[in-house]
């Protein structure tokens, strides 16, 4: 039978083969994970629809396959019947598995590790199946592989290098393939800038009262078992602004010639991971208080950094926040997470001199940068929206009405 790349949903039309979990000649069982594929949203492991022997693999690791493209052939028993295209089970995200005894499948198949960590292990000559994981749920992380390589003395990475040598005799340049999540991010960012008319509006917010409010509520959050950051407050401050300015919470249907105004509020939270930037989605934020939001953000961030996000975790955002405040800097111009039409950048909170009633005071302030698609709404609309967010953040009474 021909194994075609199945429809992964959410309008996904292609995926990059990150890792084959089997090889030609292997016997596979029905529902056994056989290939790991990266889409523009998340990694998924695709199971075999039938038991049989793998006779041919058409797509190499690192190559991109289209939905419906034959990527391998499975012989179900040599009955002589012609190959058939079948409907496959839905793909599933990577999950932990108990290492199996020695068999025909690759020994690292049951190991809990991201594609990037597996690649690092191959480069360092480390048998990943023999590495103990220190990450969530026993997941093997990069540091585990590096420690194992250091112990075994196999820490030399084999890479393509430029001919020129450094004064010490080593290569002066390393060539790193643009693959996996890095390539996905590259493609999406270029597409976003190429297909939208992006402009960035920057405003300043006095968050002195917000700092005090968060400090007052941290104890209540700890009793609920959650770590309270500023992000849930900002998300709640977005809700009245998105309702008042619905075009910010929309998408543009170019083919249909229409703007789709969303009456639900799903906020994507750009999350920095070892593999790159991913955007898990907090659903229906208008129906949750800050403690619920804090817990959900914490859970999604942990899954993102552990490479455990499912398609549902990254699906359906209507507006995205990217928070670089913990890293530093003044402000930036974020790139829109298409097909959305706007993204809000959150930046470092710092004490700065502020003029209030003709007097200079030291206040906690921050900058908010809104990048938006000028085809959907204009600069004045963007400025009014951002001002509404700032107004809610700065007014403790209004903020309390939203957060609790």
Catalytic annotation, residues = 374
Our measurement of the distance from residue 75's CA atom to the centroid of its chain's CA atoms, rounded to an integer in Å, reads: 36
Token pair recorded at residue 251: 């998408």
SS3 (DSSP) at 90: coil
Structure-block tokens of residue 35: 């290939």
DSSP-derived letter for residue 21 is S
H or E stretch at 390: helix 379-394
DSSP letter for 314, please: G
Distances (CA, A) of 200 to 26, 72, 289: 53, 46, 29
CA distance 404 to 239: 13
Give dist(CA 213, CA 210) in Å, integer: 5
Long-range own/partner contacts, residues 98-103 (CB < 8 A, 24 or more apart): 99/129
What is the SS3 assignment for 183? helix
Extract the tokens encoding 382: 């963007």
d(CA 114, CA 275): 9
Closest CA to 91 of 175, 202, 157, 12: 12
Distances (CA, A) of 28 to 55, 107, 288, 316: 11, 14, 45, 34
Angstrom distance (rounded) from CA 58 to CA 372:
41
Backbone angles phi, psi at 95, to 5 degrees: -130, 160
- 354-375 b/e (C-beta count within 10 Å ≥ 16 → b): eeeeeeeeebbbbbbbbbbbee
Give the span between the Cα atoms of 138 and 351, in whole angstroms: 41
SS3 55: strand
**Residue 280 vs residues 140, 272, 291, 302, 347: alpha-carbon distances, Å:** 21, 11, 18, 10, 19
Strands 319-323 and 342-346 turn out to be: parallel
């Amino acid at each position: 039978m021909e194994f075609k790349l199945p429809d992964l949903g959410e309008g996904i039309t292609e995926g990059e083969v990150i890792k084959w979990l089997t090889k030609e000649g292997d016997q596979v069982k029905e529902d056994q994970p056989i290939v790991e594929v990266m889409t523009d949203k998340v990694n998924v492991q695709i199971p075999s629809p039938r038991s049989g022997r793998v006779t041919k693999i058409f797509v190499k690791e690192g190559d991109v396959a289209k939905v419906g493209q034959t990527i391998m052939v499975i012989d179900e028993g040599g009955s002589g019947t012609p190959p058939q295209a079948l409907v496959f089970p839905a793909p599933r995200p990577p999950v932990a598995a108990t290492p199996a005894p020695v068999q025909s499948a690759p020994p690292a198949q049951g190991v809990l590790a991201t594609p990037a960590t597996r690649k690092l292990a191959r480069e360092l000559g480390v048998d990943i199946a023999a590495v103990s994981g220190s990450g969530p749920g026993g997941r093997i992380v990069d540091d585990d592989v590096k420690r194992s390589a250091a112990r075994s003395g196999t820490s030399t990475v084999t890479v393509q290098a430029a001919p020129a040598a450094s004064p010490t005799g080593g290569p002066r340049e390393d060539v790193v393939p643009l693959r996996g999540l890095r390539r996905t991010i590259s493609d999406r960012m270029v597409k976003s800038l190429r297909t939208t008319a992006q402009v960035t509006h920057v405003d300043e917010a006095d968050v002195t009262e917000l700092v005090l409010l968060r400090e007052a509520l941290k104890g209540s959050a700890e009793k609920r078992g959650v770590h309270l950051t500023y992000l849930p407050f900002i998300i709640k401050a977005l809700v009245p602004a998105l309702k008042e300015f619905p075009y910010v919470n929309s998408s543009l249907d170019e083919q249909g010639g229409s703007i789709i105004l969303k009456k639900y509020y799903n906020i994507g939270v750009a999350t920095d991971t070892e593999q790159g930037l991913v955007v898990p989605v907090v659903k229906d934020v208008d129906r949750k208080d800050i403690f619920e939001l804090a817990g959900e953000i914490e859970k999604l961030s942990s899954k993102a950094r552990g490479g455990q996000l499912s398609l549902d975790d990254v699906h359906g955002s209507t507006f995205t926040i990217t928070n670089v405040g913990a890293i530093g800097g003044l402000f930036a111009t974020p790139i829109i997470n298409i097909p959305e039409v706007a993204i809000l950048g959150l930046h470092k909170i710092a004490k700065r001199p502020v003029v209030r009633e003709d007097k200079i005071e030291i206040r906690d302030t921050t900058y908010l940068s809104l990048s938006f698609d000028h085809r959907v709404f204009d600069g004045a609309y963007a400025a009014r929206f951002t001002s509404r967010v700032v107004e809610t953040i700065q007014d403790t009474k209004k903020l309390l009405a939203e957060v609790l």
